[in-house]
Structure 1
Amino acid sequence: MSLLLGVSLLAGGGYAAWHEMHTSKLQALWLSRYAEKLDYRLEAGASDRILFPEAGPFDRRLGYSALPEFLQRLSARGFDIHEQVRFSPALARYADRGFFVPYPEKSQAGLTIDDCRGEPLYENSYPHQYYERFDGIPPVVAMSLMFIEDRGLLNPGRPKANPAVDWPRFTMAAISQVEKKLGLPVQAAGGSTLATQVEKYRHSPEGRTGNAEEKLRQMVSASVRTYREGQMTMVTRQRIVRDYLNSVPLSAAYGHGEVHGIADGLRLWFGADFAEVNRLLDSRRNAGTSYEAQGLALRQVLSLLIAQRRPSYYLGAGREDMARLTDSHIRLLANGGVIGTRLRNAALLQKVTYRDLRLEPGVREVPSSKGITAARMRLSSLLGVSLYELDRLDLAATTPLHGQLQGQVTDYLHRLADPTFAGEVGLFGERMLSPERTGDVRYSFTLFERGEQGFRVRVQTDNTNQPFDINEGSKLELGSTAKLRVLTTYLEVIAELHGRYAGRDVAALRKAEAVDPLTRWALGYLIQNEDRNLPAMLDAALERRYSASPAERFFTGAGMHRFGNFRREDDGRLPTMREALQESINLPFVRLMRDLVSYSTYQTANSVELLKTDDNPERLEYLRRFADREGSVFLQRFWKKYRGKTTEERIEVLLDGMRPTAPRLAAVHRYLMPEADRAGFDRFLRTRLPDADLSDKLLESLYTRYAPGAYSLPDQGYIARVHPLDLWLLGYLTKHPEAGISEIITASSAERQEVYGWLFRSRHKSARDSRIRIMLEVEAFTDIHRRWQRLGYPFDHLVPSLATALGSSGDRPAALAELMGIIVNDGVRLPSVRIDSLHFASDTPYETRLGIAADAGERVLPSEVAAALREALGSVVEGGTARRLRGSFMQADGEPLRVGGKTGTGDNRIQTVGAGGRLISSLALNRTATFVFYIGPNHFGTLTAYVPGRGADSFRFTSALPVQVLKGMAPILQPYLEPGAHTQCQPPAPAAPMKPTLTASNRAGA
């Protein structure tokens, strides 16, 4: 009786298992109920219940795995999370166990960028083509896939079937794995269904099944994903077929990168048109087409379906193997009734032709512009990814660029190459252009609009059609635009002095120490004037007069220099600083910069005491620093001439620069090759002095006299008549041929002090004084550089010379625009915004929206200084170098918009000067002319004309050119300058000053 009961129970259990394997009813019931709990919601603010995937290829490619790092970087650069998904408790537990989160995954994703109106500027989604619906797949393609991979997947007799498990295949695969473990000679069987394959190549580490645990994770994840939408699974199974065809990995293609999906595979492997292949293979649409064309299309698709197991091999060395496998599968499809005899025969006769991607690259052209390129580069920098990786992220971003205005300005700049149009705009004349050269000038334009959270770039474009961005990627000498930075620093210093002394009475002011000219003037002003408010003092500072005479020589940059004015008629003037800015007169700014250097010097060190007596212990430290700096400068020069050469070539370079004598060559050889024997020494000298009488006795004497250690490095250099550090560097590079400049500077610390040791021993105090003055000037420019950097100066150092007042340290148009934005914004620096929102992973469990943080402002100038600068810049347009622009922009009521700015011309050359200052040669490197401007209370920007290379030698245009170009642009810009008019973008901030949030450093990464 008990045996009968046991048999009955076993039979019942076996039947129940068989029934479940064929119907999946229990799985459907339980898993669908469980999957209902695995939900998520998008809510405001940062989420405290979200888990990001880790290792899956698709999770990495789409950016889901990297989102924690992205969010950390964006937070540090001024972005806040506005919305983010929250996992349900059940989903959080499920994901924490390592299973793949179930959601409808995308067939296509990639980067999109919209402009400020929500209009698309850039879209680059992958794969480029795909099957949108299962019904769009030709039946023969779907049937071929299932015949090869998963024959029972779409069985209509199993409406609740779990596609993640094919029990017979799974059982055979498990048995074969056991037999393999036992060492039996069997061929391992695969148990993967299409559903688990999709999970594997999307979400498993490296897209592989590393062990049994990973296979179980794939099966569970695929099962839960299947029943997420209910117990009936036919629609889900059809979606698996579609998803596999859309996303199967097919190696990578030159010029394109990773290939995913049959559509891109057809295009990139065979150069086939996806739509045409589908038409040929769809019996509903291919009437009248030849079997040969249908056979080739079928062969191409089958080749890709087969190749997915070893795509890199089959795309490269395995093409013949793939052809044989394809033939075999064509016959199997015919025998299985999937295709007919005529199509089989036609397909067997065809041969696929592979696309030569080096001759025909797989790059798909995407419309772009300089503004879009800048936005992509900014996104790339924000996220720390390459442009290739960026384009494949599941990311939608918005930029404040105004697409329509961007297009209009770009078209206008391109038309300036046409002499007829350039003439209509008024670009011909003295200090402008001639008709035959209009096409050689490049123009770059940016327009910003200030908003509450940043300086939003509305236009960034040029007429170069090149990736290089003059605005952000250049270091150019922009001439007199540097005067704006000098004037800003000057007024900032006056405001500092006002804050320091304005509260004191006259008696205290008379006792205050005033060593530098600016402090003396400030004290005198406050003593003489009862009205001590800062705006009045700044106005008086702008009325200070400086000589424009070029007669004086200036000790700066470690030597004596002369400077000239652009116009000789200015040489005899004594203009105010307002007039000097208005008419861009050079010498007053050189003298003003000298006063700023003096002010900075006396703020940090008592140079009077340093220069008074040799007994001051600080003098020694200054001399040491001079030796360190001067030696570093020379080493960099020497390293450049040796860089990229062999040891033998480097020695020849040194010897070519000296007049050879036996003692000089002996000193060089014994220093550079101290271990060389006498025979090698003799050959060296006799080879280079073939006509000299070099007896054995003389050679022996030279070999001994200049033995290693016999002379100090400075003496060795003196004997050889080369700079000692040149000799040291060559010796160091002989032992360390791959050394870089940083290593060389570090290694030469002692030698630099040794070479300049004469400074410490010299009887002449004046020699030491001049070196100390040089170091004091360097330190002063370090302080000035700090001030400039706080206002957006983009480079790591300034040239420590008064010539920096005229532009010798270089600048960048975008950085000048940022300075103008600070002035327009009453001294509050905001981020320059080229990306204002990011939307990651829309409609997924990782969805996150970010926007600009609200606390981005930092006060960097007193509002009174900004106001004084606006007035001074306005005078440049009202009656100065930009007066041709006066009245060009109007308000809605017909009144002129207030316009201000600063012009600058850079003529960048390498000049060779002979004795007495005689000019021997002059080689043009480029010519630039820039106008940095504001228009009304909310808009500002830059316009630069630029001619690169030696062709600049034939151009004489000045900043009048960009001013005239901007004037011609006025009809295009005018409709967009009124708040909210025609822009459909966010209206600008009101003209009233904004209340800043003071921060330790500016969060200007957006």
Structure 2
Amino acid sequence: MLLFAALLCIGIVGLAWFEARTSWLQARLLPDYARSLSFDLEEGPSDRIRFPVQGPFDQRLGYVNLPAMLDRLQTNGFYIDRQVRFSSPLMTFVDAGFYPPYPEKNQAGLSVRDVDQQLMFDFGYPRRVFEGFEDIPPLMVESLLFIEDRRLLSDDRPQMNPTVNWGRFLKAAVFKAGEAMNLNTPSMGGSTLATQIEKFRHSDDGVTGSITEKLRQMVSSSVRVYRHGEDTMPARRQLVLDYLNTVPLAAAPGYGEVNGIGDGLRVWFAADPAEVNRLLALKSPEEDELRLQGLALRQVLALMIAHRRPSYYLLQNRTELGEMADAHLRLLRRRDRISPALAEAGLEQALEFRNFREQPAVIPGDTNKGVNMVRNRLSKLLDVSLYQLDRMDLKVTTTLDRSLQEQITAHLRSLRDPAVAEANGLVGESLLRPGQAASLRYSFTLFERSDLGNQVRVQTDNTDIPFDINEGSKLELGSTAKLRVLASYLEIIAELYERYAPLPRAAQPADTDPLTRWVVGQLIVQPEMTLEQMLAAAMDRRYSASAAESFFTGGGKHTFSNFRREDNSRNPTVREALNESINLPFVRMLRDVISHLTQQQWQDLRTLMGNDNDPRRAQVLARFADREGTQFLSRFWGKYVNKGDDERVSAFLSGLQLTPVRAAVIYRYLNPSADLDSFNQFMAEKLVQVPEATALARLYGRYDPQLFNLQDLGYLANVHPLELWLVGYLLQNDKATFSEVLTASANQRQEVYRWLSRTRASNARDSRIRTMLDVEAFAELHRRWRRLGFPFDYLVPSLATALGSSGDRPAALAELMSTIMNDGARISPRRINRLVFAADTPYETHLSPALAMADQVMHPDVARVMKLALADVVNKGTGRRLLGTFKRADGSDLNMGGKTGTGDNRLVSTAGGQRITGRALSRTATLVFYLGDNHFGTLTAFVVGDEAGQYRFTSALPSQVLKGMAPIIEPYIQRAAAIEVSIPEAAFPAGLWDEEMYLDETPELAEPVLE
């Protein structure tokens, strides 16, 4: 029996030794099993897929976060149209905790292609990799194997499983057992290249945290190397390639994570990887090249050693790393792996690291504004940084047209050349002066309507900064604001028509706001008037252009001027005022709009204020106050939710014209415990002219928030008191929910509207009422503008908003133009056509955006009238220089329209009510346009800084620039027109007015400028 047992043990040990030497059994069993661990890409979302939950490699490539990102994308209008399905064996394998075997990518990252699949951006990471095993210098392979696994590429064992080096593994196990018994045994790892790769790619934090994790690495790697059959030599070569390409080498300042020998050489030693590879491939180098070859080998050895503790060696203990590299050079010489001459050359070289202060290793940013637009949008959609986005395994197809984008970008940049600018007609009256072209910046967008929605074809500018002017700026674009005022005006006319046209004439009010009186008057005169006729009459309604009147707005009296003094005596129609961009008619038009919105809010109070003796009056007023206060808090909430304290204060102050009193009131309320020094610092930062110390001290004491009620504080600050309260509350309760805000504001909502209970009002009280009603009316106007795509969280509560003081963005104006072209249906612009995550992996997922849903935000008849009015601007107004510029394929004029605007933004100081200085901050000129039935966009010219005061260009400049771009844009539009476009009827109501009815030969007029 003992003999049998002994023989059995010898047999088992012999078989184990045989298997360890030859991997015969594994080579018979694992290939078929590995091939069963398959996956297939199929239509629709998958119910048989597992995503990784850990591992640096899987996190960097985005695989770990894919479930959360897919949820966000589906919430934001994308749907999964293709996704991988796991085979049943693969599902079982992964559910058991192992890593799926597939050809993992040594290099992956964000790639962006245009609508025709032309590559626009490709961030392959790591940046420098070996394409194949044959590209690796043999000396580098020899050095790696000498350090890590000297028999890995031995060809005497073709079926060998490289996952476990049994001798090394058993020795490491014995040493580990001795350590557990407190014996003085050396420390040694049992990892091979195969398990190291599994570890730094897929293990939690890239480390082996347990025996279970080590077994997971060994099993996963063993299955992986037998995917292609019994002969493992190709897999073993692939291990060398994978290791050299992806080994983690710590994070470098300004660069981020460094992976792979190529990037390690470039980042840590400022070496050229291609030159290092050339040097290491030399077999008989000359003396000078031998010295360089020795340095290259020393650098490569240092990186291979540094992998054991990357941050320790590369950031903290570089001297020790150099000593270890020297020791390996001596070992390589001693074992005849390198020549004595090469070893000596390497030992003579100093291991010099990159000086990141003097020689930063920053990856150059992409300045293609269309690509950056896509990257920024994806960053927000996926809730990742641009750094993370660029390193994800993601392929994006955009709506951009690369060729058109590049041509327009090149043209805009060429306009900085004075000779080119003059050849394009940009020098002259209302344009540029000689020598001014170099400082001008231009921004351009072009959209195309299609059966998939409004697609961005071009988004670019001629700057080299990554900032996106179209979507990231806030510019005063001058008279383009008149387009928004006109939209509000016509929408109200349409609302009033639909309200009163069905009513008997006796039921229509006679004493109300000007717009209501006008509509009712028109219906009395022409009872059968249609809405189209009413809107046409509204466009022919006259507004005085007189600049003599003072307007109560923004908490005080203001005056406005026209660009041309000769317009002051005119009484133009709305149509004429739009064509010639006359300021004062639009100021008065906005006053009528605000008056109407105020009346709409006020009319609920008329019956309540009518009988002072009604005992129910107080209760009804309290309910009214609670309802109104809740509505305004809801509006303000959207402005401040999900912001930090500094962001909330900045959002609150933005758009406010701060005086010393207003600034003092706001700061003391928001910071009740702040001392005088903090108060003085705030005033110095926010005011153009800072009062003297004694005056500041008086302001600090006089506007103690405890001395005033909330309503008075709002009046003094010229803000809605509930907005002031909300900001103060959120600064003290930054995690509060809206429900908590409503509960906490119960008393404040009543306090703000307590004035309603008074039966008489003094002149001062009247002033307060008017100011607050003005603010509330502008809040309602802001709500209407937001529906039309206005991009900001607030409007300046002043009639100057009609002339652009609330700012705008070119992209938002393009969206408004889209709504007008779509008969009042707002459709979000489409910038991305397809997303492919993790292509050719077990996690591959394809997404497409759903067809854009139309939101009818403007009455269709209003949109048609506005489109015709914009055609007038080109046919006989401020955009007339564009008339006849663009042609159809048959040579006829392409129908087009647009609105121009000029903004002259200055920092104004006053003394005694008189303007004494006006330092220029910037000057802008914008054209928002449509070309034909399916293309629209914006073109903005601007200059910033003190030199802006030297420029006198108007919106004639962007019109002339667009005219010069016709040879580039016109062929594209003609080609697009040749392709039949099917617009969904649900998204775009059919029917457009005939635009030819308004054409005439009126000379082009100058563009007003708001200063």
Asked if structure 2 preserves the Cα contact closer than 8 Å seen for 1:509 and 1:523, the reply is no
2:397 equivalent to 1:401: no
Q: Which residue of 2 aligns with 1:439?
A: 438
What letter corresponds to residue 965 of structure 1 in structure 2? Answer: V
2:876 equivalent to 1:879: yes
What SS class does the counterpart of residue 173 from structure 1 fall into? Answer: helix
Q: Which residue among 807, 819, 836 is the counterpart of 1:839?
A: 836
Asked if structure 1 preserves the Cα contact closer than 8 Å seen for 2:550 and 2:558, the reply is yes
Asked if structure 1 preserves the Cα contact closer than 8 Å seen for 2:664 and 2:699, the reply is no
**More displaced stretch, 33-42 vs 374-383:** 374-383
> Relative to 1, partners in 2 of residues 1:509 and 1:107: Cα closer, same or farther, differing over 3 Å?
farther
C-alpha distance in structure 1 between counterparts of 2:699 and 2:476, whole Å: 43
Deviation at 1:466, TM superposition (A): 1.8
Q: Which residue of 2 aligns with 1:708?
A: none
2:794 equivalent to 1:797: yes
Deviation at 1:265, TM superposition (A): 1.1
Deviation at 1:196, TM superposition (A): 0.2
Asked if structure 2 preserves the Cα contact closer than 8 Å seen for 1:582 and 1:879, the reply is yes
2:677 equivalent to 1:649: yes
What letter corresponds to residue 814 of structure 2 in structure 1? Answer: A
**More displaced stretch, 954-963 vs 542-551:** 542-551
> Relative to 1, partners in 2 of residues 1:671 and 1:479: Cα closer, same or farther, differing over 3 Å?
closer
Deviations 1:237-278 (A, max 9, x none): 110011101111111222221111111111112222222222
Q: Which residue of 2 aligns with 1:115?
A: 114
Q: Which residue of 2 aligns with 1:63?
A: 62
Q: Which residue among 710, 713, 720 is the counterpart of 2:707?
A: 713
2:947 equivalent to 1:954: no
Q: Which residue of 2 aligns with 1:548?
A: 545
C-alpha distance in structure 2 between counterparts of 1:957 and 1:273, whole Å: 49
C-alpha distance in structure 2 between counterparts of 1:981 and 1:855, whole Å: 21
Q: Which residue of 2 aligns with 1:963?
A: 959
2:136 equivalent to 1:152: no
Asked if structure 2 preserves the Cα contact closer than 8 Å seen for 1:428 and 1:434, the reply is yes
Q: Which residue of 1 aligns with 2:725?
A: none
Deviation at 1:752, TM superposition (A): 12
C-alpha distance in structure 1 between counterparts of 2:672 and 2:225, whole Å: 61
What SS class does the counterpart of residue 113 from structure 1 fall into? Answer: strand
C-alpha distance in structure 1 between counterparts of 2:703 and 2:406, whole Å: 65
C-alpha distance in structure 2 between counterparts of 1:938 and 1:400, whole Å: 15
Deviations 1:664-686 (A, max 9, x none): 989989999xxxxxxxxxxxxxx
> Relative to 1, partners in 2 of residues 1:285 and 1:267: Cα closer, same or farther, differing over 3 Å?
farther
Q: Which residue among 783, 787, 797 is the counterpart of 1:786?
A: 783
> Relative to 1, partners in 2 of residues 1:422 and 1:110: Cα closer, same or farther, differing over 3 Å?
same
Deviation at 1:658, TM superposition (A): 7.2
What SS class does the counterpart of residue 937 from structure 1 fall into? Answer: coil
Asked if structure 2 preserves the Cα contact closer than 8 Å seen for 1:759 and 1:768, the reply is no
Deviation at 1:104, TM superposition (A): 0.5
Q: Which residue of 2 aligns with 1:338?
A: 337
What SS class does the counterpart of residue 836 from structure 2 fall into? Answer: strand
Q: Which residue of 1 aligns with 2:391?
A: 392
Asked if structure 1 preserves the Cα contact closer than 8 Å seen for 2:453 and 2:852, the reply is no
Deviation at 1:153, TM superposition (A): 1.4
2:347 equivalent to 1:348: yes
2:616 equivalent to 1:588: no
Deviations 1:387-416 (A, max 9, x none): 211111111112222222222222222222
C-alpha distance in structure 2 between counterparts of 1:256 and 1:116, whole Å: 31
Q: Which residue of 1 aligns with 2:900?
A: 903
What letter corresponds to residue 987 of structure 2 in structure 1? Answer: K
Q: Which residue of 1 aligns with 2:921?
A: 925
C-alpha distance in structure 2 between counterparts of 1:724 and 1:322, whole Å: 67
Deviations 1:773-800 (A, max 9, x none): 2222222222211111111100111122
2:72 equivalent to 1:73: yes
**How much is the aligned-residue C-alpha RMSD, in angstroms?**
3.8
- TM norm structure 1: 0.85
Q: Aligned pairs, how many?
A: 935
**More displaced stretch, 949-958 vs 648-657:** 648-657
2:992 equivalent to 1:995: no
> Relative to 1, partners in 2 of residues 1:788 and 1:226: Cα closer, same or farther, differing over 3 Å?
same
C-alpha distance in structure 2 between counterparts of 1:969 and 1:118, whole Å: 25
What SS class does the counterpart of residue 250 from structure 1 fall into? Answer: strand
What letter corresponds to residue 713 of structure 1 in structure 2? Answer: L
C-alpha distance in structure 2 between counterparts of 1:530 and 1:614, whole Å: 39
What SS class does the counterpart of residue 49 from structure 2 fall into? Answer: coil
What SS class does the counterpart of residue 605 from structure 1 fall into? Answer: helix
C-alpha distance in structure 1 between counterparts of 2:189 and 2:23, whole Å: 22
C-alpha distance in structure 1 between counterparts of 2:313 and 2:543, whole Å: 78
C-alpha distance in structure 1 between counterparts of 2:671 and 2:438, whole Å: 38
Q: Which residue of 1 aligns with 2:687?
A: none
What SS class does the counterpart of residue 916 from structure 2 fall into? Answer: strand
C-alpha distance in structure 2 between counterparts of 1:273 and 1:550, whole Å: 69
Deviation at 1:552, TM superposition (A): 2.8
What letter corresponds to residue 434 of structure 1 in structure 2? Answer: R
Asked if structure 1 preserves the Cα contact closer than 8 Å seen for 2:366 and 2:466, the reply is no
* Matches for 1:341-740 after TM superposition, within 5 Å: 341-365=340-364, 368-502=367-501, 504=502, 507=504, 510-511=507-508, 515-529=512-526, 531-606=528-603, 608=606, 617=618, 647=675, 649-650=677-678, 657=691, 713=707
Asked if structure 2 preserves the Cα contact closer than 8 Å seen for 1:449 and 1:988, the reply is no
C-alpha distance in structure 1 between counterparts of 2:61 and 2:86, whole Å: 20
Asked if structure 1 preserves the Cα contact closer than 8 Å seen for 2:450 and 2:983, the reply is no
What SS class does the counterpart of residue 940 from structure 1 fall into? Answer: strand
C-alpha distance in structure 2 between counterparts of 1:6 and 1:98, whole Å: 37
What SS class does the counterpart of residue 19 from structure 2 fall into? Answer: helix
Q: Which residue of 2 aligns with 1:179?
A: 178
Deviation at 1:765, TM superposition (A): 3.1
* Matches for 1:8-47 after TM superposition, within 5 Å: 8-47=7-46
Asked if structure 1 preserves the Cα contact closer than 8 Å seen for 2:366 and 2:372, the reply is no
Asked if structure 2 preserves the Cα contact closer than 8 Å seen for 1:553 and 1:562, the reply is yes
Deviations 1:299-323 (A, max 9, x none): 1111111111122222233222122
- TM norm structure 2: 0.85
The alignment-based identity, stated in percent, is: 51
> Relative to 1, partners in 2 of residues 1:866 and 1:201: Cα closer, same or farther, differing over 3 Å?
same
Q: Which residue of 1 aligns with 2:1003?
A: none
C-alpha distance in structure 1 between counterparts of 2:461 and 2:553, whole Å: 37
C-alpha distance in structure 2 between counterparts of 1:268 and 1:769, whole Å: 69
C-alpha distance in structure 2 between counterparts of 1:795 and 1:765, whole Å: 36
What letter corresponds to residue 556 of structure 1 in structure 2? Answer: T
> Relative to 1, partners in 2 of residues 1:541 and 1:652: Cα closer, same or farther, differing over 3 Å?
closer
What letter corresponds to residue 552 of structure 2 in structure 1? Answer: F
What SS class does the counterpart of residue 555 from structure 1 fall into? Answer: strand
C-alpha distance in structure 2 between counterparts of 1:200 and 1:167, whole Å: 18
> Relative to 1, partners in 2 of residues 1:410 and 1:537: Cα closer, same or farther, differing over 3 Å?
same
What SS class does the counterpart of residue 823 from structure 2 fall into? Answer: coil
Deviations 1:424-482 (A, max 9, x none): 22222322221022222222111111223332222212222222322111112111111
Deviation at 1:489, TM superposition (A): 1.6
C-alpha distance in structure 1 between counterparts of 2:72 and 2:597, whole Å: 36
> Relative to 1, partners in 2 of residues 1:741 and 1:637: Cα closer, same or farther, differing over 3 Å?
farther
What SS class does the counterpart of residue 226 from structure 2 fall into? Answer: helix
Deviation at 1:59, TM superposition (A): 0.6
**More displaced stretch, 368-377 vs 575-584:** 368-377
C-alpha distance in structure 2 between counterparts of 1:754 and 1:537, whole Å: 42
Instruction: Answer with 1 or 2: which has the greater Rg.
Output: 1
C-alpha distance in structure 1 between counterparts of 2:310 and 2:249, whole Å: 5
> Relative to 1, partners in 2 of residues 1:981 and 1:309: Cα closer, same or farther, differing over 3 Å?
farther
Q: Which residue of 2 aligns with 1:299?
A: 298
C-alpha distance in structure 1 between counterparts of 2:173 and 2:64, whole Å: 32
Deviations 1:743-788 (A, max 9, x none): 99x9999999999999999985333233222222222222211111
> Relative to 1, partners in 2 of residues 1:216 and 1:808: Cα closer, same or farther, differing over 3 Å?
same
What letter corresponds to residue 455 of structure 2 in structure 1? Answer: R
Asked if structure 1 preserves the Cα contact closer than 8 Å seen for 2:44 and 2:81, the reply is yes
Deviation at 1:284, TM superposition (A): 5.8
**More displaced stretch, 559-568 vs 40-49:** 559-568
